[in-house]
């Protein structure tokens, strides 16, 4: 999903910084993203971006967000993860958990939860209707800007 979203944002003219635990390791992902984007360490990618999209497996979100919580404060964080096998015990959504971990000044929106990587590059579905991206959050202005 990171690659599909990144390619779509690059095609729309946006700068994309991918965060990786091992940015120096050359692999297939490096070849796929091309020269228009950059692959950084996670902290450097967060520092480079205004909008951070969490695309890691849900089981890794709490630990990762906890590690980078201070850097995520005030940034727009789009959580696309789905806690299929690790539902929070209190009935919270994954994005709510992410916002709680970031704490004060968290700006979290849940989005792309019903979209699949294969469909991101196709703006219309098989019946020629525009694809929908559902999103949710507590901050009305943030939802409006995320929609754009």
Q: Please calculate the CA angle 102-104-108 and round it to the nearest 5 degrees.
A: 55
* Structural domain boundaries, residue 20: 6-48
What pLDDT does 142 receive? Answer: 65
Whether residues 13 and 54 fall in one domain: no
Condensed to tens digits (0 to 9), the pLDDT of residues 89-144 reads 677 788 888 999 999 888 899 888 888 888 888 888 889 998 888 888 777 666 55
Residue 34 has pLDDT above 70, yes or no: no
Closest CA to 14 of 44, 46, 51, 43: 51
Whether residues 81 and 27 fall in one domain: no
* pTM, to two decimals: 0.84
Q: How many domains does the chain have?
A: 2
Residue 39: strand pairing partners: 18
Whether residues 69 and 123 fall in one domain: yes
Whether residues 38 and 56 fall in one domain: no
Nearest-angstrom CA–CA distance, 3 and 120? 10
Whether residues 31 and 95 fall in one domain: no
Closest CA to 61 of 38, 44, 77, 74: 77
Q: What is the mean pLDDT of residues 73-101?
A: 83
In angstroms, the Cα distances linking 15 to 35, 71, 109 are 11, 19, 20
What pLDDT does 13 receive? Answer: 86
Closest CA to 78 of 53, 44, 49, 115: 53
Whether residues 34 and 22 fall in one domain: yes
What pLDDT does 29 receive? Answer: 67
């Amino acid at each position: 999903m990171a690659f599909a979203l990144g390619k779509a944002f690059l095609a729309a003219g946006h700068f994309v910084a991918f965060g990786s635990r091992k940015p120096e390791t050359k692999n297939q992902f490096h070849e796929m993203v091309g020269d228009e984007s950059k692959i950084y360490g996670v902290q450097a990618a967060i520092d480079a971006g205004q909008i951070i999209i969490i695309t890691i497996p849900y089981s890794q979100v709490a630990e990762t967000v906890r590690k980078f919580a201070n850097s995520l404060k005030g940034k727009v964080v789009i959580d696309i993860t789905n806690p299929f096998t690790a539902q929070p015990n209190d009935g919270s959504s994954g994005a709510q958990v992410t916002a709680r971990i970031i704490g004060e000044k968290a700006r979290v929106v849940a989005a792309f939860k019903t979209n699949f990587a294969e469909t991101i590059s196709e703006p219309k579905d098989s019946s020629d209707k525009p694809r929908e991206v559902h999103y949710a959050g507590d901050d009305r202005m943030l939802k409006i800007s995320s929609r754009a």
